[in-house]
Amino acid sequence: MKLISKYLIFVLLCFYPTITYSQIKENDKENNKEKNVEDKIYLSPENDYLKDTSSTNRFQGKNIDDVYKKLKGSKSSIVRNFANIILISGDPSIKDIDEEKKEEIHLSENYFKDFEGLIIDSIEIVNKDIYFEEDSMSTGSWLERTVDLLHIQTRKRVIEKYLMFKVGDTVDPLKLSTNEFVLRDLSFISSAYILLKYSDQGGVIVSVFTRDKWTIAVAGELGDYPYLSLYDENFLGTGDKLSISYLHPAKCQKIGGRAEYVARNILGTFIDGRAEIGVGENNRRLNGSLYRRYLYPGDDFWHVGGGYTEKGDGLLTMDSTFYTSYVEASASYGKTFKINPRDESMFLYGEIGAATKRYNKAIETTEYLNPNYYDYSVTGIRVGIAKQNFFQGNMIYGYGNIEDIPYGFKFELTTGWGYSPQAKHYFYYGCQARYGFYKEKVGFFDFTLKGYIKHTLEQDKWQMGSVELVGKYFSPLHEIGKGYYIRNFINVSHTQGINRLYGEREALAFVSPNARIRGITTPIERLGNIRTVVNMESVIFSPLYLLHFRFAGFVWADAGWLGDDGLFWKNKMCLATGVGIRIKNERIIINNLEIRLGYAIKKYPERGYSIFGISNESRLNINTYEPDRVGEYDYR
């Protein structure tokens, strides 16, 4: 009872600010009559408050007079037009914005609907450096000016290649909102907007605004697999990625190196190409692939790739490392079809794919041991129906920039057949159902249920199955003080194995991205086939702004159950809680710097607990509802 009492008290403290400050002022009904969702969001200094109250004025600023004058006085005609679009025409003095500090989460398509069906007469592109005076409330420090001087700006034609429309097309709200997401999703772009205004010819002028991000960074790690990597996500301003790594694994006599090049959006086809080469002991690899992702209903999507890899695998079940090598190849093709003229965001899709893998060196395998290391050849097909839209918000998984959060639904069925020397001939079956939505003044919900199982023909057995349920939630943003805002997050994950075999990746641990307990590692003695994890976090966004670095504190609690009992609460439980701080600059490529303090209320007796941790991992985001690559489900 004492343990339960402590936990309940913590949960109440963690979510007390949301309960206390849940009352939010409503906007003028006329300004929001077409809005389905709303929220209160503080934006970055260059665009402090977003208000979608008219089709031609998308953004308004806090110190709007100064920003307006800078933009209007720009030598660039495109920037002057940008000022007319994002700022209110006529008197630029907006006195009630500071008082209201009001923000909405809104549907991305709403802004474009007033222009639907009009002809695109011209397209203007405003491509700016990392720091530039026209979008800032200050003239910029010497450090910012130096960074801009050293940075190679993204070439204009690179942005042009990412546009999904051209002059002469009609305005398609879904396509333009999707295009905004595509631009903001680019790793070398800090922020992006698509803005419209009426032209003299009766059509529209489309202005595309993007700002670069500092994309050169160094990454490294110490331990059994030390490495040092230098990479650029926007090599020479081309939008491509180049990465060069130095590796010196423990117990290896020779050092190693690896180089990777990713050519993005080749010739404007939205096809990405990737090539990787590695040299050195236990780091030999030569891999390549071409991939086109789904973007818009009616598109096709496909991938083809393969290569040779020799590397060390960390074996969880043996707490050791095994060096393995293999060759692999895979290919798939999918097509989407619009099914509802009134709702173009809904689509059917079908996909077929094949893959093969052959190990030259692997750990011992038998009919029931280490199926993760089987040689295999598989062919699969998948059909599904999905709907995907986006709403725009802020301070969800980022800190200052506008974020596109996908919502909708997806239901798909997968089946395939394959052969391996150990399992012989088999069929596999899978299904997935997912639904996400935003409820005004309640928050965002996302639920996923998927299952998978194999049927071996020679043994006539159903085995290697799994069922996974994942639920994600985040609350509306609430003000708890002048400039301070809070948002709460909950993640629930339950995974259950069905007739699993033995060996590596046939048992679960707290290692999945959706099922981690901070500070706790799973000992070999505690692996199981049933795992349940609950992660709760309250994030407090502060107004502190230092050289474009933002700061957010967080209070967290993680609980997990792992074992083999069908009633998950009867399995061994772990419980930890703590506080931390995250530091993020959204104009540079480096992820969050996270500093965490924690205390294990209940842990495994076989292992200690990591009270203090520093990491640069990015926070988990909401996945899109687009079709994934056809294949077997991962179980870990």
Percent of the chain clearing pLDDT 90 (strictly above):
50
What's the confidence (pLDDT) of residue 620?
73
What rounded mean pLDDT belongs to the chain?
80
What's the confidence (pLDDT) of residue 187?
92
71-81 confidence digits (pLDDT tens): 545 555 555 55
Question: CA angle 587-39-188, nearest 5°?
Answer: 20
Q: What is the largest CA-CA distance in the chain?
A: 79
Task: Put residue 371 in one of left, alpha, beta given phi > 0 → left and psi -120 to 50 → alpha.
Answer: alpha
| pLDDT over 70 (residue 209) | yes
Cα 397 from chain centroid (whole Å): 9
| pLDDT over 90 (residue 361) | no
Query: Which one has a higher pLDDT value, 617 or 212?
Result: 212
What's the confidence (pLDDT) of residue 524?
81
273-286 confidence digits (pLDDT tens): 999 999 887 788 99
DSSP result, 53-67: SSSS--EE-TTHHHH
Q: In sequence order, what are the beta bridge partners of 279?
A: 257
User: Where residue 106 falls among pLDDT bands split at 50, 70, 90?
Assistant: low
HEC-encoded secondary structure of 34-56: CCCCCCCCCCCHHHCEECCCCCC
Considering only 105-119, 473-487, 579-593, which range has the smallest mean pLDDT? 105-119
Q: In sequence order, what are the beta bridge partners of 126?
A: 209
Nearest to 271 by CA among 280, 263, 279: 263
Query: Which one has a higher pLDDT value, 228 or 259?
Result: 259
Answer whether 128's CB lies under 8 Å from 154's CB.
no
Percent of the chain clearing pLDDT 70 (strictly above):
80
Answer whether 394's CB lies under 8 Å from 552's CB.
no
Nearest to 586 by CA among 58, 215, 149, 317: 215
Considering only 209-218, 521-530, 568-577, which range has the smallest mean pLDDT? 521-530
Handedness of CA 564, 565, 567, 568 (dihedral sign): negative
Average pLDDT over residues 336-352: 92
Average pLDDT over residues 373-391: 94
| pLDDT over 80 (residue 376) | yes
Residues 471 and 622: their CA atoms lie apart, in Å, by 11
User: Where residue 38 falls among pLDDT bands split at 50, 70, 90?
Assistant: very low
Answer whether 493's CB lies under 8 Å from 512's CB.
yes
User: Where residue 11 falls among pLDDT bands split at 50, 70, 90?
Assistant: very low
Q: In sequence order, what are the beta bridge partners of 481?
A: 484
Instruction: Output the pTM of the full model.
Output: 0.81
- The residue length of the chain stands at 636
DSSP result, 331-397: EEEEEEEE--TT-TTEEEEEEEEEEEEEEEE-----SSB-GGG--EEEEEEEEEEEEEEEEEESSSS
Q: In sequence order, what are the beta bridge partners of 531?
A: 495, 562
